[in-house]
């Protein structure tokens, strides 16, 4: 083999794989790779694992991450990158996530990319776990990251066939185990797992008490000088609020399972943010006299969150409202519309959505298994965005209430940034409301 640059890297990769096979460890790639610390409790590379669905289908593979057995709704995500953000998105609570991208783990993991304080996905399914980590930001390999957090993973699964199965028969209950091997026993476990219909998971992911957020949207920019501060004390926040410009908007954000990048983008628009638990009554929010109310993403069946629907219904017309994902569904229910469960949902960073007002198409990031029935929207509430894959409702605009929402994730993380303008729309609504008050 000639010693060309291409062949050099091919040989280096083969050598790295050989070390992995022999020692079961992630290794240094010459020049561009990095040696990462090894977790002591990593599973052996030939540890079998089994994924079983409630309809009796089973999918064998090899285990990685933590040893254990976990149940959840089996779903798939079509994103090419961003597996760490997906794993830490609270909207995935109670779900076993299958990645359609075949090679996962090559960029490793780092704390800065977490979208919450923990991994919420119940389990992780991939076609081919990368034997090598090569990224300058990586501080840990994906297997070690999951092992330390008690999350079960499986690789060497025929994910193309699995995804076709989910698309044909729908999302369903499943079990993933690296310690049980009896297929019939695991199918029985899957059938006994919780059903997503009627399931209120928001209470399991929301914050326990209110807190204040300050980290802004330019957190990823080199040399921005922004600290990685995630929250501040009430005293410090009050000091900052008193010294802030009178034009700075105060936003109360309902935490139904909120992602950090939503808060970063709001802070980047100059907003002061108070995050409150999902069960916070409308009266408590109004007592804070915010300029606007934000309704976050979250897991589970929106119709089960009756406390949130009641609160939002009481807030309609009182303050500008902006909802995302589950927040969009809760706004729809508060307006009088109904919701329904999709066959296999929308999950990925490449979904085409048409903006009805001007007809342009935006590529968007999605993660939802339920949707608002556009035919049940009342007068004065418009279906503002349409999914071009299945024509489901992707947005609501209720100008009479100064409220709007989108089903997808304009904050991305991961995903495209086609819809960043929605945060500007919310800020403009709050500015108009303040002008009318003055």
What is the spatial distance between Cα 77 and Cα 81, in angstroms, rounded to a whole number? 10
Helix, strand, coil % (nearest 5) of the chain? 30, 25, 40
305 is an active site residue? no
Residues with Cβ within 8 Å of residue 383, at least 6 apart in sequence: 356, 374, 377, 393, 395, 396
411 is an active site residue? yes
Catalytic pick from 54, 85, 115, 411?
411
- Please state the separation of Cα 146 from the chain's center in Å: 16
- List strands edge to edge, sheet with 272-277: 211-213, 272-277, 250-255, 292-295, 321-324, 403-406, 393-398, 382-387, 339-355, 361-372
What is the spatial distance between Cα 108 and Cα 380, in angstroms, rounded to a whole number? 47
> CB-hemisphere CA count at 13 Å for 213?
30
Catalytic pick from 93, 366, 368, 409?
409
325 is an active site residue? yes
What is the spatial distance between Cα 246 and Cα 343, in angstroms, rounded to a whole number? 48
Per the CB < 8 A criterion, the answer to whether 148 and 39 are in contact is: yes
Q: Hey, CA dihedral for 7, 12, 17, 18, is it positive or negative?
A: positive
Q: What is the DSSP letter of 381?
A: -
Going from the C-alpha of 382 to that of each of 295, 334, 408, the distances in angstroms are 18, 14, 16
Helices within 102-172 (DSSP H only): 142-148, 159-169
Tell me the longest C-alpha to C-alpha distance in the chain. 77
Catalytic pick from 325, 328, 366, 368?
325
The residues carrying an active-site annotation are 325, 409, 411
């Amino acid at each position: 083999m000639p010693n060309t640059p291409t062949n050099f890297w091919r040989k280096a990769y083969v050598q790295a794989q050989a070390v992995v096979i022999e020692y079961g460890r992630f290794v240094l790639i010459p020049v561009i790779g990095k040696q990462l610390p090894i977790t002591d409790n990593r599973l052996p590379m030939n540890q079998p694992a089994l994924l079983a669905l409630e309809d009796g289908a089973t999918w064998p593979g090899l285990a990685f991450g933590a040893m254990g057995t976990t149940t959840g709704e089996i779903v798939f995500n079509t994103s090419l990158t961003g597996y760490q953000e997906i794993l830490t998105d609270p909207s995935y609570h109670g779900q076993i996530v299958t990645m359609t991208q075949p090679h996962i783990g090559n960029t490793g993991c780092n704390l800065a990319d977490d979208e919450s304080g923990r991994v919420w996905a119940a389990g992780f399914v991939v076609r081919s776990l990368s034997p090598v980590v090569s990224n300058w930001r990586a501080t840990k390999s994906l297997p070690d990251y999951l092992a330390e957090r008690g999350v079960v993973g499986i690789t060497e699964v025929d994910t193309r066939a699995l995804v076709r199965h989910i698309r044909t028969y729908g999302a369903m209950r499943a079990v993933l185990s690296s310690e049980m091997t009896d297929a019939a026993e695991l199918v029985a476990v899957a059938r006994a797992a919780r059903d997503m219909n009627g399931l209120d998971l928001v209470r399991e992911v929301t914050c326990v008490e209110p807190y204040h957020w300050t980290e802004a949207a330019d957190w990823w920019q080199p040399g921005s000088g922004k600290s990685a501060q995630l929250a501040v004390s009430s005293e410090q926040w009050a000091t900052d609020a008193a010294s802030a410009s009178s034009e700075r908007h105060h936003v109360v954000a309902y935490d139904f399972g909120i992602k950090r990048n939503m808060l970063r983008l709001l802070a980047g628009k100059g907003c002061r943010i108070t995050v409150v638990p999902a069960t916070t009554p409308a009266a408590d929010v109004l007592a804070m006299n915010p300029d606007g109310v934000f309704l976050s993403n979250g897991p589970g069946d929106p119709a089960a969150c009756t406390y949130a629907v009641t609160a939002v219904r009481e807030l309609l017309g009182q303050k500008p409202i902006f909802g995302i994902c589950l927040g969009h569904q809760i706004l729809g229910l508060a307006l009088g519309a109904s919701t329904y469960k999709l066959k296999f949902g929308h999950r990925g960073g490449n979904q085409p959505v048409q903006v009805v007002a001007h007809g342009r198409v935006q590529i968007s990031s999605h993660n939802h298994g339920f949707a608002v029935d556009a035919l049940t929207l009342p007068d004065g509430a418009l279906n503002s965005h349409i999914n071009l894959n299945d024509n489901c409702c992707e947005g609501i605009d209720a100008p009479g209430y100064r409220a709007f929402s989108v089903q997808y994730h304009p904050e991305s993380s991961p995903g495209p940034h086609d819809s960043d303008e929605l945060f500007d729309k919310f800020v403009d609504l709050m500015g108009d409301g303040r002008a009318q008050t003055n």
